[in-house]
Amino acid sequence: MRPDLVGRGLGRAFVTAILDFAVEEFSPQRLRLLILSWNERSRKVAEALGLDIDGTMRGVEGDLLVMLRPPGRSASRPGGLTHPSDELP
């Protein structure tokens, strides 16, 4: 996100659009998101969209949280709640 847009409450809509695009274009079994461990705002947005912390890894920029959204969770639904139409076959 552009730096001038940070802090305006746009993060959730921004990340939701990215996740929805990924699901529509690629039909992944699960989604993985890497977030720098110091980035509390991004972690909170990811958790609100149904991603769970799965572990950590070392990156060039610092420690990264590995966050996963398992099958059946929707980025568009508040709190990542499962809806029957979101289930994989």
List the strands of the sheet with 63-69, edge to edge: 31-36, 63-69, 52-58
Mean pLDDT of the chain: 82
Statement: residue 13 has pLDDT above 60: yes
Statement: residue 76 has pLDDT above 90: no
Q: Which residues make beta-bridge pairs with 52?
A: 68
- How far is C-alpha 62 from the chain's CA centre? 19
The predicted model gives 68-72 an average pLDDT of 79
The predicted model gives 49-63 an average pLDDT of 94
Statement: residue 75 has pLDDT above 80: no
Report CA Rg, the chain: 13
* CATH of 3-73 among 3.30.1130.10, 3.90.950.10, 3.40.630.30, 3.40.640.10: 3.40.630.30
Token pair 């590995």: residue: 66
Query: Computed from CA positions of residues 12, 15, 21, 24, in that sequence, does the dihedral angle turn out positive or negative?
Result: negative
Left (φ > 0), alpha (ψ -120 to 50) or beta: where does 32 sit?
A: beta
